[in-house]
Amino acid sequence: AEEVGGGDKEVVRNYFNNSGFQRWKKIYGETDDVNKVQLDIRLGHSKTVENVMKMLTEDGSLKGVTVCDAGCGTGCLAIPLAKEGAVVSASDISAAMVAEAEKQAKEQLTVGNGDIVPVLPNFEVKDLESLEGKYDTVVCLDVLIHYPQSKADGMIAHLASLAENRLILSFAPKTIYYDVLKRIGELFPGPSKATRAYLHAEADVERALNKVGWKIKKRGLITTQFYFARLVEAVPA
Ligand code: SAM
């Protein structure tokens, strides 16, 4: 089952509507019913979100800027973007994730008298292959892990086609060290590893971007003990 769009995609959708939803909602949340590994991943992921917010805001105000958050999960990025005044379109393949993101956005973006400040993101259940339209900025965080490199090129090309000015991607980097860790993990699969994880070499991601006329402008690397993410911001070349 190497296919995203075939078997793999159904597995991913099913996982993120069920056990994966429970697991990741906890990791991305604030409650203290997490173990040490989950807490570490929560910290790493929140650093990724912080870095993205920094990348985006150092280019200028986000007020009125259209942003597509592809594979939005529970809204960890969509909500801070909306707080900065961005016009956010957030979508995910998992209906459970989208419902949770919408609930959290309403809680966090609503002020005392019930007004929503400034603009609630527009949430949709959609896989990213069916996303359409044009956005100033497209962001896709920690989703590439569900795509083998053979499918990643097409996914990157599609996301770039939706973006006018910026595309931000984060992915688990395929370094020798991490490759070894992953292989050890495959030898001793834990019960929570319900989906396959694909790592990506930065050079492969860069090649996919270059092929469709984009170039990398900024790079970041976020690592904690159990969380590794390469972050790239690409712009039209
Ligand atoms: N981007 C969010 C964040 O950083 O907080 C969530 C990251 S979570 C590890 C991966 C998310 O990607 C899940 O919510 C999953 O449902 C979604 N996903 C996986 N494959 C997808 C696809 N083909 N289209 C849209 N979303 C997808």
115, pLDDT greater than 70: no
Q: What is the pLDDT of residues 210-236, one digit of tens each?
A: 999 999 999 999 999 989 999 999 999
Q: Where are the domains of the chain?
A: 7-236
Closest-CA residue, ligand 1 atom 10, reads 143
Beta bridge partners of 167: 138, 234
Question: Which has more pLDDT, 116 or 83?
Answer: 83
Instruction: Specify the CATH number for 7-236; select among 3.40.50.150, 3.10.110.10, 3.30.70.60, 3.40.50.620.
Output: 3.40.50.150
CA–CA separation, 215 vs 133, rounded Å? 21
> Candidates 14, 74, 88, 92: which one to mutate for ligand 1, based on the most atoms within 8 Å of Cβ?
92
Confidence of residue 1 (pLDDT cuts 50, 70, 90): very low
- Helices 7-17 and 95-109: angle between axes, nearest 10 degrees: 40
Confidence of residue 194 (pLDDT cuts 50, 70, 90): low
CA–CA separation, 161 vs 168, rounded Å? 13
> Can you tell me the mean pLDDT for 31-52?
96
Angle at CA 219, nearest 5°, toward 104 and 202? 100
Give 24-32 contacts, CB < 8 A, sequence gap 24+: 24/73, 24/74, 24/97, 25/74, 25/100, 28/73, 28/74, 28/76, 29/74
> Candidates 143, 195, 199, 231: which one to mutate for ligand 1, based on the most atoms within 8 Å of Cβ?
143
